[in-house]
Amino acid sequence: MTNTQKFRTIVFFKDYFELFYEQQREKVKAKIVWTLKLIETLPVIPETYLKHIENSKGLYEVRVQLGSDIFRIFCFFDEGQLIILINGFNKKTKKTPSSEIQKALSIKQEYENEKK
Distance CA 75, CA 111 (A): 11
Mean pLDDT, residues 1-12 taken together: 84
| Domains in the chain: ranges and CATH | 9-115 (3.30.2310.20)
- N residues, the chain: 116
CB 7 within 8 A of CB 41: yes
Over residues 59-86, the pLDDT tens digits come to 999 999 999 999 999 999 998 888 999 9
**Residue 96, pLDDT above cutoff 90:** no
Q: CA 116, CA 102: separation in Å to the nearest integer?
A: 21
Q: What does the pLDDT look like over 8-23, one tens digit per residue?
A: 999 999 999 999 999 9
Q: What is the pTM of this model?
A: 0.91
Q: List Cβ neighbours of 86 (8 Å cut-off, separation of 6 or more).
A: 13, 16, 17, 73, 74, 75, 76, 104, 107, 108, 111
